């Protein structure tokens, strides 16, 4: 099975792949390059979302999409919190190419205020939180409406996370090896293997 690479101009999105930088909750890069891929089913829904957002003068900024299984082990080793991260033993929808983390940007490329940043592991990140400014609540509901109308499911604890419905029943967990050009360095993959060996 081939994943679809999500790149402009084929997909009119901005890419800001957080785990390819140190600007993520682990404080260091997890990916050696900022790849963005989705299962073909998810890529089709992303195209729908782009089309729905366009008349509103809005675009999508993607923080993460396909996350190799090895990367999920790295994240879990740092923060084994099932309220915000899928236990890699169950498999993350990200590792199936069936999930995307994203936000909305305006015509000038500015992120809409969502009340918290990406990967803020706090109750303030929950859908429906009324503890954030009203404008941010509005923006979250706008994102939720666009994604839902395009056919996505959502994860209640993370305003930025959307996925295909029932992914664990339909899709396989994939490793970095499925990519023609790896996203992860051998060193990080080795660290992931060591973590996996401790948990299994």
Of the candidates 107, 123, 4, 116, which has an alpha carbon nearest to the alpha carbon of residue 61?
Answer: 107
Of the candidates 42, 69, 60, 12, which has an alpha carbon nearest to the alpha carbon of residue 152?
Answer: 42
Strands 59-64 and 99-105 come out as antiparallel
Q: How far apart are CA 184 and CA 79, in angstroms?
A: 19
Q: How far apart are CA 52 and CA 129, in angstroms?
A: 25
Q: How far apart are CA 49 and CA 13, in angstroms?
A: 10
Q: How far apart are CA 8 and CA 108, in angstroms?
A: 17
Catalytic-residue membership of 187: no
Q: List Cβ neighbours of 173 (8 Å cut-off, separation of 6 or more).
A: 69, 91, 92, 95, 96
Contact 53, 59 (CB under 8 A): yes
Rounded to the nearest 10 degrees, how much is the dihedral formed by the CA atoms of 16, 21, 25, 30?
A: 110
Q: Name the active-site residue from 5, 70, 158, 187.
A: 158
Which are the catalytic amino acids? Answer: 158
């Amino acid at each position: 099975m081939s994943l679809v690479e999500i790149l402009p101009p084929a997909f009119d999105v901005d890419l800001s792949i957080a785990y390819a930088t140190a600007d993520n909750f682990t404080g260091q890069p997890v990916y050696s390059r900022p790849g963005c891929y989705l299962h073909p089913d998810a890529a089709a829904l992303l195209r729908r979302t782009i089309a729905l957002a366009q008349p509103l003068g809005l675009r999508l900024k993607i923080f993460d999409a396909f996350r190799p299984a090895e990367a999920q082990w790295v994240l879990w080793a740092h923060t084994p919190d099932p309220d915000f991260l899928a236990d890699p033993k169950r498999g993350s929808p990200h590792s199936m190419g069936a999930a995307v983390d994203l936000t909305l940007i305006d015509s000038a490329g500015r992120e809409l205020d969502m009340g918290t940043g990406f990967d803020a592991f706090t109750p303030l990140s929950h859908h429906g939180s009324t503890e954030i400014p009203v404008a941010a609540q509005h923006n979250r509901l706008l994102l939720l409406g666009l994604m839902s109308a395009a056919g996505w499911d959502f994860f209640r604890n993370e305003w930025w996370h959307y996925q295909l419905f029932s992914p664990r029943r339909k899709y396989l967990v994939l490793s970095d090896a499925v990519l023609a050009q790896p996203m992860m360095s051998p060193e990080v993959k080795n660290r992931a293997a060591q973590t996996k060996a401790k948990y299994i």
